Every structure is written in C-alpha cells, then in structure tokens.
Copies of this chain bind each other. A is one copy, B any other.
Amino acid sequence: MEEERQPARRPGGRSARVRTAVHRAVTDLIAERGFGNYTVGEVAARAGVADTSVYRRWGTLEALTMDVAITWLTTTSPVPDTGSLDGDLRAYAANVARDVTGPDGLAVLRLVIALSSAGDDGVRAREAFLAERSRQLQVMLDRARDRGEHPPEVLDVVDHLLAPMYVRVLFGAVPLTPDYVDGLTGRLLARTP
C-alpha cells in the first residue's frame, strides 16, 4: 500500500481521512485496553491503513499518542466568549462536563495520566497538554480582566472547576449533573468579587 504519497495533507482529502481514522483507532484502543496496551500494527489494522503510513507520519507510538491527546484537547471544550466572566465560566464548565463524560473523555484523561510513566516523550506530551489547557483558560480570564472584572487565577480554575470533575470521572462518580457543574462555578465566582 502506497497511501499518502500523492495528495499529501490536502485538507479533507485522503490524508485527513487517514489522520481521523488513526486517531479514532488510538482513542478506541485506549478506552478498551488502557494506555500503551496496543501496537502500531494494531492501530493501523483498526484504522484500515498500512503500518508504514503510521510510522511515516508520526514516527513513534508515543508521538502519535501525544498528537491524539493534543488534538482532542484543542478541539473539545473550547473556551466560550459570552461577554461576561460568569457566562464564560458557566459555559466552559458545561463544555468540560459534557466532553469529559463523553465517549472519549475518560480515555483521554487516562492517557494524560499514563503519559507520566511513558518516559521523556510522555512527560513532554503531558506538559504540552497542560500548557495548552492553561493557555485557553488564560485567554478567557484575560478578557474578563480587560472588561474590568476580577477573574480567578488559572490554577484556581484547575483546582476547583476541572479537578473535581476530572476526579469524579476518573473514580467513576458520574454523572455530573448540570446543578453540580453550575455549583462549582458559582462557588469559584463567589471567591472573586
């Protein structure tokens, strides 16, 4: 099989379809078996592509896994822009709750956690994931500050909005009800006049 030689990386073309199929295969395998309990060959077979396609584009299983995690992060739970800190945080919390309890949420959370034991590449992937999440939050909080509001720090949002939801999902204490999620936001905002 000689896929991806011609129209390489044309958006929406074969290259994009291969990428989507390979990402889907990785996410499914992580969900079924846990992080790391699969090979490039298994990913390729499930995605319906040749092993060489995976190696050529991603190089290693770790690099592929990192790409999946970062892509998931940057395309889910986008930070909203509602015009107020209160509106942004409530919408963001609802987005996170939806995504983290969705079909891939637990798998990706486990993936980020497992990265710590995946050597230097894994640690770099985890750092990139967290840096991207922090950057997204900072944009939202900076907008609030520019409007004259008094936003919490990024780490407060992580500790008191994300961490409770992450731990409940990781420990199986779901569902995250709308009242619960909104309560976390209300509690966080009550700290910042």
Contact = CB atoms under 8 A, between A and B. Distances in A.
Interface of A: 33-36, 106, 110, 112-114, 116-117, 123, 126-127, 130, 158-160, 162-164, 166-168, 170-173, 184, 187, 191
Contact of A172 (B116, B163, B168, B173): B116
- Helix, strand, loop or mixed for chain A's interface? helix
Contacts of A123: 172
Given A34-B114, A123-B172, 12 more contacts: A34-B34, A106-B116, A110-B114, A113-B113, A116-B171, A116-B172, A126-B171, A126-B172, A158-B164, A159-B163, A160-B160, A187-B191
A163 B167 CA distance: 6
Given A160-B160, A160-B164, A171 B130 contact: yes
Query: How many chain copies does the complex carry?
Result: 2
Contacts of A187: 191
B164 A112 contact: no
24 contacts: A34-B34, A34-B35, A34-B114, A34-B117, A106-B116, A110-B113, A113-B113, A116-B171, A116-B172, A123-B172, A126-B171, A126-B172, A130-B171, A158-B164, A158-B167, A159-B163, A159-B164, A159-B167, A159-B168, A163-B164, A163-B168, A166-B167, A167-B167, A170-B170
Nearest to A184: B159
A67 to B, nearest CB: 19
Most chain B CB neighbours (cut-off 10 Å) among A110, A127, A164, A184: A164
Contacts of A191: 187
Contacts of A126: 171-172
Contacts of A127: 172
A145 B71 CA distance: 47
B113 A171 contact: yes
A175 to B, nearest CB: 14
